[in-house]
Amino acid sequence: MSELTARQQRFVEEYLVDPIGAQAAIRAGYSARAAAVTAYQLLKKPAIAAAIAKAKAERSERTRIDADWLLTRLAAEAEADLGDLYDENGDLKPIREWPAIWRQGLVTDVEISALYEGTGKERREIGHVKKVKFAERLRRLELIGKHIRINAFKEIVEHKGLSALAERLERAQRRSEGNDGEAE
């Protein structure tokens, strides 16, 4: 595998942050005017593709987050039992007693307001109103469905003019092959 230039390495790093090639190319220091073509050319280079794949694998190993982790997490969140938040009297448990899955993202907000009766010196607290806002669990099921390719979750995207774009990219590639300085 050939060694990457500094700008190509920067492109690899930026591509991991945001896999929109043109944006990664611009942030890596390539011309904004030709960013899409440059990114297309860079991504076709075996050394750059290998560097991106290697960097992604290293990131997954470092963070221990990969497709299996994500799918397992989504499944746990989708299956989390709302009953785990309540005690045997139907009262909301203290947050510290909630299962971790609820504390780590399924509950987005908790609001507790005291209820009072009487006025002045006669005023006394008689209870609390507890409002809990939950994350959208249906979205997790949709993400799982997309991951395992359930057709009901497949988005239909219509592409028009792709052949014209492909022709423009090929012409740009032929021009740049004569001037290989831009995509190093």
How confident is the model over 12-30, as pLDDT tens digits? 999 999 889 999 999 999 9
pLDDT at 27: 95
161 contacts: CB under 8 Å, gap ≥ 6: none
pLDDT higher than threshold 60 for residue 66: yes
**Rounded distance between C-alpha atoms, residue 72 and residue 93, angstroms:** 26
| Cα–Cα dist 169/184, whole Å | 17
The CA-atom distances, in angstroms, between 43 and each of 22, 24, 52, 125 are: 11, 11, 9, 65
Would you place residue 46 in the very low, low, confident or very high pLDDT band (cuts 50, 70, 90)? very high
pLDDT at 1 over 50: no
Q: What is the predicted pLDDT for the residue at 153?
A: 56
Q: What pTM was estimated for this model as a whole?
A: 0.51
What single letter denotes the amino acid at residue 143? L
Tell me the C-alpha distance between 184 and 180, whole Å.
6
Residue predicted with more confidence, 153 or 29: 29
Q: Is residue 105 scored above 60 in pLDDT?
A: yes
